[in-house]
A and B are shown apart, each in its own frame.
Chain A
Amino acid sequence: MSSRTDRPAGALNPWRDLWLPAATTAAMVAALWLVFVVVPSERVQGTVQRIFYFHVHLAWMAFGGFVVTAGASVAYLARGQRAADRLAEASAEVGLLYTTLVLVTGPLWARPIWGVWWTWDPRLTMTVVLWAIYASYLMLRRLGGRDEVILRYAAVLGVVGVLDIPLLIIAIRLWRGVHPAVLLAKDADAGLANPMMVQTLIVAGVALALLFAWLVVLRMQFSALDDEVEALSAEVAA
């Protein structure tokens, strides 16, 4: 840490700082163009159904983000690498962003179609609890500071949180019955009949996955910078 020229956190990396953002932007523009201009409106639901192309991926990636957080947490507990902890935190934060967006776009889709903003349908219930678990994980990190013990506690919570999910799914299924076939029936009968719809869905998926990855990378870079500040102030104080 003595050299003034080495800047691990701020150094430019072509893959990370150029290609990833560029690919994300390109995929996003393509996805938006497909969603708004190219793809035909779905027969039963009309224009509103276009929310679906982003909404579904946001939901799945929110789940995926949680799995990444749990995996990275296990790695951190096992080997104690700072990078694993940064990945866990970044993935949880971007996951919370995605989950929030699921909860915002969901009601905006449900209102015109089902006539209500919210129902206690299994998937909605699930998403809301998932949001709460993510939020509590990040809250623990925020209130706990960057103490090494807290990082370990957060990792334990990350693991416990993901183990809670299967139990939650079973509980909610038993409680509210199987998903009231709204989505399934629609998909089977009119839904994605048009091949253009499938392509749009795929492109939107790629775009949102790239966005997720880019945001996670940015967030990890930020943590690294934060660590550097910490290390430097310790050095100055010494």
Chain B
Amino acid sequence: MTGLWFLAAAYTAIWFAVVLYLLGLGRRARTLEKEVAALRSRAGGRD
């Protein structure tokens, strides 16, 4: 039964880390996309 506990812990850790990494990347990417949009409109406004 303890074997199952260690197994579950290992795979949970893997999934937790991967999902966290993906979410973090997505969040930072969205911030950057907003920045791009803002900069574009400013650049566009001046043209």
* Chain A residues with a Cβ under 8 A of chain B: 4, 9-10, 32, 35, 45-48, 50-51, 54-55, 58, 97, 100-101, 104-105, 108-109, 111-112, 211, 215, 218-219, 221-222, 225-226, 228-229, 232-233, 235-236
Q: Is the CB of A222 within 8 A of B17?
A: no
Asked, given contacts A48-B3, A225-B36, A236-B43, whether A105 binds B10 with beta carbons under 8 Å apart, the answer is: yes
* Chain B residues with a Cβ under 8 A of chain A: 2-4, 6-7, 9-11, 13-14, 17-18, 21-22, 25, 28-29, 32-33, 35-36, 39-40, 42-44, 46
Q: Is the CB of B6 within 8 A of A229?
A: no
Interface of B is mostly: helix
Q: Is the CB of A232 within 8 A of B28?
A: no
Q: Is the CB of B33 within 8 A of A10?
A: yes
Q: Is the CB of B17 within 8 A of A225?
A: no
B11 to chain A, nearest CB (A): 7
Q: Is the CB of A104 within 8 A of B39?
A: no
Interface of A is mostly: helix
B14 to chain A, nearest CB (A): 6
24 contacts between A and B (CB under 8 A): A4-B44, A32-B11, A35-B11, A47-B3, A47-B4, A47-B7, A51-B6, A54-B10, A54-B11, A58-B14, A104-B14, A105-B10, A108-B9, A108-B10, A109-B10, A112-B3, A218-B22, A218-B25, A221-B29, A225-B36, A229-B35, A232-B36, A233-B39, A235-B39
Q: A10-B36, A218-B25, A229-B36 provided; 14 other pairs, C-beta below 8 A?
A: A4-B43, A46-B3, A47-B7, A97-B18, A101-B13, A215-B22, A225-B29, A225-B32, A226-B32, A228-B32, A228-B36, A233-B39, A235-B39, A235-B43
Contacts of B29 in A (CB 8 A): 221-222, 225
Contacts of A226 in B (CB 8 A): 32
Q: Is the CB of B32 within 8 A of A229?
A: yes
Q: How far is the CA of A105 from the CA of B12 in the complex (A)?
A: 10
